[in-house]
Amino acid sequence: MLKNISNIIKLFLKNKIITENNLDFAKILLKKKEKLLILIIATLHAEMKQGSSCLPIENILKKIKKQVPKNKKKKITKINILKSLLKFNMVSIYSENNITPIIIFNNKIYLYKIWKMENKIAKFLNVNKKNNYINYKKLKININNLFNKIDKNLKIAAKLAITKKITFIMGGPGTGKTTLIKKIIILLIYNAKKKINIKLATPTGKSAAKLTEEINKKIINKKITIKNKKYIPKQAYTIHTLIGLDYYKNNIYYKKENKLNIDVLIIDESSMLDMQIISNIISAIPINTQIIFIGDKDQLDPIGIGNILSDIYTLKKNKQNKSYINNKKNFKKNYKFNTLCNNIHILKKNYRFKKNSDIAKMAKAINSNNIIKVKNLLNSNTKNIKLINVNKKNNYLILINKFIKIYKKILNMLQNKKPVINIINYLNKYQLLCALKKGNFGTKKINNDIKSILIEKKLINYKSKMNKWYIGQPIIITKNNYNLKIYNGNIGIILLDKNKKPNIFLKKKQKNIKKIPIEFIKHYKSAWSITVHKAQGSEFEKVSLILPNEHIPILNKKLIYTAITRAKKKIIIYTNKKTLYKSIKYYIKRNTGLTEQINRSYKKEKIIF
């Protein structure tokens, strides 16, 4: 079929379809120099590095055809690629009786271990049981007492979460997800027939700390009986802590042979979950554990392989049985139409933004790829959203000088002996976000530029050889420290304490401050600017987003959406129109077979040649 594969490999490298790293991976895995297989596995590895679990044969077909002359394209077909691949002993069409390192499943090429993980998740999600420990007679009364008539959307979500073994609840910022978690916990406690063990978990330490604060603030203040208070989860855990992941020993404490004692697991920020984390969770929990996934499907994709919320959302495109979720009788029985697509609910009403909020309109336009609406919003001279061309040096200096003014204000507040909480609250009103860490538009350069101007204006006395910090410097924690209870992504400020010694001050609760001597913390960076990834789960009154002046693959719809929805009142985007519009249009969906595996009901795979 393909005679000169070596040339195609060179073209794949030249056009950045694969890298030398992908090629090395394929050569190590295969050992023998089978060039076609090396090409396929290197391309599969490149896809996996981008978060896909598999390589659709259609995709590799298109990539190869682009690299060969027109007169040879007709000979390169799907059936020819399949036949060529199946000549190798390492490759097979999936069958329970014939497991090979590389398998073809539903016209997709997988590493077997990745397919196995995806299949494990699909089987887990496809289990359809009702919750036997719920008192259904009390449920209707308690739900009606807990929700207002206007909260119908939240009410349906709560019904599903309480009655189903597995539930997915998705919604953007301000749609009431945290409030819903609180009410779900109350309903679970009040409607349980027995003692109930509820656990809260999130992927990151920062989001776990934030959720702990919110739950304690909102639930503990409710009128809950002393008898029931002991069932309220006192804190949210990171998933790694919950399952007992030991990075140094590469071991997980809670797994198949040693399960966690959990009746209900609620996972917030589920958009960050990759396949490996979900697989570890499944191994760690008992088979009857109820699990509730909550998150925003439109935020940034997970760092690892997979994208569970986006995959599960595609099931919503199936005909969801609306009469099912509105009929209270159906919550008591297992109907044959009670499939996973009926356990998914989207929160649409926004409680954070006003009805005519420009930021909410912009977020919606980005998600729907409505460039015309984005253009109209930017051209409407609204005060809440602005686009400024960063190519012009003067505009960049204006941006930098905004943060010099913020620093001057901090110095003024220090001179006037304002409370530390006031200084932190002022600092947290503004945040500069970047897509990149390095380069002219990255956090490293911007933070250094701000520091250089502060030194030039003699606002700080900074001796780089002696100190890595200066008074009034905003910082971001870059590594979890469970002993100090500070987490990757926490933002604070360096100030002197009463003894004139430098401390990092962090906001813990609404009016509480945590201070830690600076010598106790090794992992932190300047935070005048931070990446959009680090800002996930945070919100600020005013956000400035700076993007490169040319489009690069990291600039996509989800990154722009995530950045914009960090702002509560105002967003200023520093780039040119061409780059912004291209970024909003650009998004490469990850290739997975999860929904297909859920839908196929585990029948024997058939591939048509």
**Token output for 253:** 């404490």
Domains within the chain, CATH numbers bracketed: 5-110 (1.10.10.1020), 138-345 (3.40.50.300), 358-575 (3.40.50.300)
pLDDT of residue 220: 57
State yes or no: 203 annotated in a binding site. Answer: no
Q: How many residues does the chain have?
A: 609
DSSP letters spanning 500-544 = S-EEEEEE-SSS-EEEEEGGG---EEE-SEEEHHHHTT--EEEEE
State yes or no: 176 annotated in a binding site. Answer: yes
Q: Identify which of 487, 373, 504, 396 has the alpha carbon closest to the alpha carbon of residue 450.
A: 396
pLDDT of residue 272: 94
Task: Give the whole-angstrom CA distance, residue 361 versus residue 136.
Answer: 40
pLDDT along the chain (609 residues), means of 10: 81 94 92 87 96 95 86 81 90 88 94 95 80 71 80 88 92 91 90 86 90 78 63 89 79 86 95 95 93 95 93 73 47 48 88 84 93 92 87 81 92 91 91 94 93 90 67 92 88 92 85 89 94 92 93 94 94 94 93 87 39
State yes or no: 304 annotated in a binding site. Answer: no
pLDDT of residue 603: 45
pLDDT of residue 131: 65
Rg (CA), the chain: 26
State yes or no: 174 annotated in a binding site. Answer: yes
State yes or no: 175 annotated in a binding site. Answer: yes
Return the axis-axis angle of helices 136-146 and 152-163, rounded to nearest 10°: 150
**Token output for 458:** 């003699």
> Structure pTM?
0.89
- Measured in degrees and rounded to the nearest 5, phi and psi for residue 32 equal -80, 145
State yes or no: 177 annotated in a binding site. Answer: yes
pLDDT of residue 325: 47
State yes or no: 212 annotated in a binding site. Answer: no
